[in-house]
Chains A and B, each alone.
Chain A
Amino acid sequence: MFDHDVIIVGGGLAGLRAAIQSSDIADTAVISRVHPLRSHTKAAQGGINAALGNAPDGRDDNPEKHAFDTIKGSDFLADQDAVELMTRMAPDCLFQLEHWGCAFSRTEDGKIAQRPFGGAGFPRTCYGADRTGLYLLQTVYEQAMKRNVKEYQEYLVTSLIADGRSCRGVVALNIRTGELVPITAKTTILATGGAAWIYSISTNSMINIGSGMTMAYRAGVPLKDMEFIQFHPTGLYPSGLLITEGARGEGGYLVNSKGERFMERYAPKAMELAPRDIVSRSIQKEIDEGRAFENAYVHLDLRHLGRDKIMTRLPGIREICLLFAGLDPMDKPIPIRPAAHYTMGGINCNADCETSLKGLYAAGECACVSVHGANRLGGNSLLDCVVFGKVAGQKAAQFAKSVNDGADEALVQSFLERERRRVALFQKGNGLEEPSVLRDDARVILTRKVGMFRSGQELTEALKQIRGLRERFSKLRPLHLDKVFNLDLIRAFEVEAMLELAEIITASALARKESRGAHVRVDFPQRDDEHYLKHTLAHYTPEGPKLGYTDVKITRYKPEARKY
């Protein structure tokens, strides 16, 4: 029997940052389906925002300006109190990471280097070349290890143990042995990351399918703002691999097949450094209107940056281009198109990372505080993980210290039995449906019909098709019976979560009859503050998601037109 004060599901930046904080006062364990150092954080490239004012032209930056840029970037859907908290905490959180040994690049005078990023008024994005995620993940892993945080590596959590009022741990599949085990706790933090792999064109790791979100949802916690999916402007063609915004931050151009720097037409002032929603839509418009190469991609041109800058600031991008596209960005422009990148929405929680279930917290991309609203600014997701990981760790550990009783044994057993039945049902099978086919179909439907430009008609079609896939999921072929490292079984858990999330995303998008940030309805092209300046909440019901709304917290920034 495994039991801890605090368990954290997910070993990425948010989870490990939470573990560091929590382990100072409580017995803490991290449960991860991969070794924590394989988490998706490691693929983050460009940097992490904090108003440090280290760059020569960033001297006038401060947390208020960072907050305003974030709120404007969010198309005014972010909760302003949470954003202010995040940008205020940012500088100290960054210094702490540096004190822990994070390998940031340096300015000439030895400070943390900062580069310009989209939608930001100053060079605010702290970076370590284009491997910031790797350096950050390494740093928090080192610190968690130093504090002897217990690790459950290669355990796939399949369910929360929750009775509708409080959460007392999880049931997890030990991937190495095939055994289902309960891991009980006084508090549980979900830090399972985003879900952008559920789109067929995606920058994400293949493990980013959002199962943490669906577990919370199934346990009665609503999912917030799930219609807001960020498409990163520069996914490598055709794989979708991430080409950092830092490439444009360092001065890269976007060029169409006519040789035009087309961002002139869409964001004449900010150009390539407009926020991601705007740049992605501009690229897609160029593609749709016939000004793309092979009708499929445009160019990201770095050639004028020169060898030195590419080798020192963007070595990882060069490596990705050489490995996957067989080209050197010093000699040739990079073929890119937008790719699903980030889930702005997530598990509904407040600025203390508390959910509606007692003892359940959420942090990082799987959570929705909300600090990103309808569109996240580049460099704010790593910050979100660091700041709210810290908050979640602190609050969860404090709460754990106030709990005196253990988890109810009967409740734990009932969840363990339920998960055992679930596995048995999967392995028995109920038809001939192939899980990988359902997965691939759902991913294509989302990309085609729930993408950057949406319409009521296409969303309605998509919803029907996804419900059809969910129906078919109940008739899966018998899964493989192996105990050890059974990818067939893991995939079934994944596909079930993917299909459920696909339905929630589509239903939320269909209900929001306006265009805001990353959510654009061609049939409702304007932002409609009167009706939709509010967060969507999707609640679980056996018949499908039930939608409701809740107010956006506005402190001092009145919604205004968003021009760049």
Chain B
Amino acid sequence: MKKSSRDNVALTILRFNPGDERGPHYQTFEVKATKDTTVLDALFQVLDDQDHSLAFRYSCRSAVCGSSAMFINGRHRLACSTLLSELGGDVIVQPLPHMPIIKDLVVDLSLFFEKYKIIKPYVVPIKPTPEREWIQSPKERSKINDSTDCILCAACYSSCPSVWAGKNYLGPAALLWAYRFAADSRDGVLRDRVGVVSSEDGLWRCHTIFNCTEACPKNLNPARFVQNLKRTTTKETLKVKIPFLR
């Protein structure tokens, strides 16, 4: 492994403090960067040594808790898993776009989580509960693969033009979770789920722009899950409308 080298990087942050007359503005700091320094480390350097008022969210620093989704050099990324060395050169950090800012890089995710709750994000079994586990074959398990790995960081949601245009649209993350539960062999309420996601603010507002897929810092493909869900929804709806298909 190569020895660490120190370099200074200019880190520009979009600042916003509700109590500050200046409104949103950019501020540039100089931070030290080794080859292992992440954007989150750099934000801590600023907080510790330069500006004690900086606000951002953090927790696991290992790309799993979902706290640190931000807009870094024009892309949705997790600050904790983005190396300065990888960005090469100066860095601009903004909060998740199209979201209400609480302060600096901290955005309000209430609506995002409300929409996630609308899709009833839990398995609803209808068969009697077995004494041991439900038997789920590896093939059945593979239907929910990847959809279970979403960390609800809101990057996809913030990147979606359909969300920008219609504030009530459920958005890619909620629909990904709707797929995850609809596709689980243990779940028994597909008809209800289809009803929820095919509402006016549901999955038909997805125009397969694929911003969500590009934005996902976990390399998931929310757009694909939404398409799967559209297929399932169509089938279920036809079953209701055309009885011999049941």
Contact = CB atoms under 8 A, between A and B. Distances in A.
A420 interface: no
Interface in A200-250: 205-207, 238-239, 241-242
B144 interface: yes
Contact of A436 (B48, B53, B62, B134): B48
Contacts of B184: 101
Contact of B59 (A146, A207, A335): A207
Contact of B36 (A94, A131, A239): A239
A35 B122 contact: no
Nearest to A478: B52
Contacts of B140: 106, 110
A37 B103 CA distance: 21
A38 B65 contact: yes
Interface residues of A, number: 62
A38 B102 contact: no
A484 B19 contact: yes
B3 to A, nearest CB: 9
A43 B132 contact: no
A40 B134 contact: no
B103 A95 contact: no
Contacts of B235: none
B17 A99 contact: no
Interface in B188-207: none
B122 A482 contact: no
A34 interface: yes
A259 to B, nearest CB: 17
A398 interface: no
Contact of B125 (A34, A99, A241): A99
B201 to A, nearest CB: 20
Contacts of B48: 434, 436
A176 B81 contact: no
Contacts of A434: 48
A508 interface: no
Interface string B160-203: 00000000000000000000010010110000000000000000
B85 to A, nearest CB: 9
A283 B102 CA distance: 45
Interface in A305-327: 316, 319-320, 323-324
A99 B60 contact: no
Contacts of A436: 47-49
A492 B106 CA distance: 20
A57 interface: no
Given A38-B65, A100-B122, A483-B19, A238 B36 contact: yes
B53 A482 contact: yes
B67 interface: yes
A76 interface: no
Contacts, number: 157
Contact of B135 (A111, A335, A482, A486): A111
A128 B148 contact: yes
B115 to A, nearest CB: 13
B60 A205 contact: yes
Contact of A43 (B18, B62, B104, B136): B62
Interface string A316-358: 1001100110000000000100000000000000000000000
Interface in A32-63: 34-35, 37-40, 42-43, 52
A207 B58 CA distance: 8
A320 B80 CA distance: 11
B90 interface: no
B1 A294 contact: yes
Nearest to A335: B1
B75 interface: no
Contacts of A34: 57, 59, 65, 67
Given A324-B81, A488-B52, A103 B148 contact: yes
B27 interface: no
A206 B79 CA distance: 14
A279 interface: no
B134 A487 contact: no
Contacts of B65: 34, 37-40, 42-43, 205
Contacts of A471: none
A40 B59 contact: yes
B54 interface: yes
Contacts of A485: 55, 102-104, 106
A202 B52 CA distance: 24
Given A480-B52, A484-B102, A487-B54, A42 B60 contact: yes
A134 B148 CA distance: 9
Interface string A114-157: 00000000000000100101110010001101100000000000
Nearest to B113: A35
B5 interface: no
A143 to B, nearest CB: 6
Contacts of B11: none
Given A42-B65, A131-B149, A110 B138 contact: yes
B18 A37 contact: no
**Interface-centre pick from A40, A99, A100, A238 (highest chain B CB count, 10 A):** A99
Interface in B39-67: 47-49, 52-67
A63 to B, nearest CB: 15
Nearest to B142: A106
B121 interface: yes
B122 A43 contact: no
A380 interface: no
A241 B123 CA distance: 32
B133 interface: yes
A487 B81 contact: no
B1 A38 contact: no
| Top 3 closest pairs, chain A to chain B, by CB | A101-B123, A110-B135, A142-B122
Given A100-B123, A131-B64, A482-B17, 12 more contacts: A37-B65, A40-B59, A42-B65, A98-B134, A110-B140, A111-B133, A131-B148, A131-B149, A206-B60, A206-B61, A320-B62, A485-B55
17 contacts: A37-B151, A43-B65, A106-B137, A106-B141, A109-B135, A110-B136, A131-B149, A134-B151, A142-B121, A142-B122, A320-B63, A434-B48, A480-B53, A484-B19, A484-B102, A488-B47, A488-B52
